[in-house]
Structure 1
Amino acid sequence: MFISPMLLQRVDEPFDSADYITELKLDGIRLIYSVDDEGKVRLYTRHNNEVTSKFPELTNIGIPAGTVLDGELIVTDKDGKPDFEAMMNRFVSERNSTPPVSFVAFDVIKYNNERVTASTLLDRKDLLADIIKHDSEQLSKVQYITGMGRAYFDVVRDQSLEGIVLKRKDSRYQVGKRSSDWLKVINYQYTEVFITGYRKKEFGLLLTDLEGKNVGVMELGVSQHAKECISNAAILDENENFRFIEPLKCRAKFRHYTKAGLLRLPSFVEWT
């Protein structure tokens, strides 16, 4: 059974509050883990795509019948950190069973064939601890602390992890909704880049670093005013797909550098 997951609302800064718990934001793929009343396991992405056949190693990990869990599917690197690129490589592979994946649960939506969405978050966390009594490489549960959002985020930033999640202790599980009860703070990095061109069809800006090396394509955060500035820039050359312009310097934020040296999800911040 697919149940649309509760979504996170983004905030710019972490905060400290005893009314919230703080968790690590895992860099992977959101996964709804469903076991029907006959014990049949089905795995779904947040967009209701069934992916059970891609991850056969997760179909017999001891989750009881009549249970639906919410969590993250991850692959870890040699340092034990989530590796999003490795996760995506495994996700798009048709028959590959490596690298191994882990399902890290952070909430319970259904138990004993009954929805528990009206229970408080802390009550659902207690239930999750009963369901997953012992963590393993394939199955574990997210650890959390009360409050201390700022200090936790400092550690996340020092370790170059994706971010943190702040959740109100008494929050109910709001199926398919984005709520201020669940907040995410992303550990963005910032850099200066040149916009050197743009796609002719779907929107996308070509980026280089200050030494002229390609660092990817920007699609996010570009205001209408910025688009007008780019469209008015002098055109140096073009081909079937791109127009190349006099470079324009700007500041961009992004998640991290990919293994190929590209900016992951770059977003326009300001002109420099």
Structure 2
Amino acid sequence: MKPMLASVADGIPRGADWVHEVKWDGMRVLADVHDGRLVLSSRTGRDVSVSFPELAGLAETYDDLLLDGEVVALDGGIPSFAALAERMHVSSARKAAQLATTRPVTFMAFDLLRLFGSDLTSQPWSARRELLERLDLRSSAWQVPPVYDDGEELFDATREQGLEGVVSKRRTSPYAPGRRSPDWRKSPHRASLSVVVGGWRPETGTTNRLGAVLVGTPDGAGGWEYAGRVGAGLAGAAGGRVGRMLEPLSRSDSPFSNEVPREDAVGAFWVEPTLVVEVQSLGRGSTGKLRQPAYLGVRSDLTPADLHEVSDA
């Protein structure tokens, strides 16, 4: 099963038909417990159970349940995608166990899709939420975060606290697996963006050490529009990790549908636009390029098709 997705809101929905939650800056995960075994799946269906050993205890909570939620890593008490990035791609159980001690995560469970063999997806959100709260899922590694009636007040509070934003949900909405629904609407604060990598440039003074990536966003015609060069945040181990992921993606020409400025294109190595990364910026300038972009991490939970889907929604 793939998770239900939220559409972008053009304002916080008002009225008693809606309920509102904090939008967490993390990784969307489905937690499937069955016969004493826990399987954690990313939004793309990848099994990420080994990456988060501190969540293994969920297998002992109930005999059978399927939870939808977000895995977050806290940095100074605030969820940080950059802090989570080093946890998302770990495939070594030993390394994951070490990171669980030094960089622990928390699973924010916000929906219940199955309980004791009963599929709950056709039930309204309000019924699923009532059952979820009755399960009393509380520990140092997972929790059921609260919901709020006043979305505008929550939006202001999350902005003041440095949180990512708000997700508003229609109380009567069923759960639509894999679909982006207007019954769930997201209102983010942060100017972060998921982009594809279409090329890279070497670090100054080197020929093979990654110093910056060239990124793109959907162009509205199924291709990719060049959005700028990102170097901040890629020093040291982060750049080496991204460089290794780009090695097998090499191609001879630019994958972008528009022209890459000469100052960015000279000396660049082109790659197939399949790797999705998260960047933070000050928005776009008059040329359409990202202003002062900084790399936050690889989005292994997203595919290029996901980015096109969002742009077309």
Query: TM-score of the superposition, structure 2-length normalised?
Result: 0.64
**1:107·1:128 contact (CA, 8 Å) conserved in 2?**
yes
Q: What residue ranges of structure 2 are gaps of 5+ in the alignment?
A: 202-210, 227-255, 271-284, 298-306, 308-313
Looking at structure 1, the residues matched to 89 and 260 of structure 2 have their Cα atoms a distance apart, in angstroms, of 39
Q: What residue ranges of structure 1 are gaps of 5+ in the alignment?
A: 191-198, 207-213, 243-247, 261-266, 268-272
2:266 corresponds to which of 233, 238, 242: 238
Corresponding residue SS for 2:74: coil
Looking at structure 2, the residues matched to 16 and 205 of structure 1 have their Cα atoms a distance apart, in angstroms, of 45
Looking at structure 2, the residues matched to 20 and 161 of structure 1 have their Cα atoms a distance apart, in angstroms, of 20
Identity of aligned residues (%): 26
**Alpha-carbon spacing, 1:204–1:250, altered in 2? closer, same or farther (3 Å):** farther
Deviations 1:145-193 (A, max 9, x none): 12x2222212222222211101000111112211101111121439xxx
Alignment size in residue pairs:
232
Within a 5 Å distance, the mapping from 1:1-272 to structure 2 comes to 3-36=1-34, 38-61=35-58, 62-78=60-76, 80-93=77-90, 94=92, 95-97=95-97, 98=99, 99-131=103-135, 133=136, 135-146=138-149, 148-189=150-191, 203=198, 217-220=214-217, 231=259, 238-241=266-269, 249-250=286-287
| More helix as a share of residues | 2
- Counterpart residue type for residue 108 of structure 1: L
**Alpha-carbon spacing, 1:184–1:205, altered in 2? closer, same or farther (3 Å):** farther
**Alpha-carbon spacing, 1:223–1:176, altered in 2? closer, same or farther (3 Å):** closer
Corresponding residue SS for 1:135: coil
Q: Whose radius of gyration is greater, 1 or 2? A: 1
Looking at structure 2, the residues matched to 229 and 51 of structure 1 have their Cα atoms a distance apart, in angstroms, of 34
Looking at structure 1, the residues matched to 290 and 148 of structure 2 have their Cα atoms a distance apart, in angstroms, of 28
**Alpha-carbon spacing, 1:39–1:187, altered in 2? closer, same or farther (3 Å):** same
Cα deviation for residue 237 of structure 1 reads 7.3
Query: TM-score of the superposition, structure 1-length normalised?
Result: 0.72
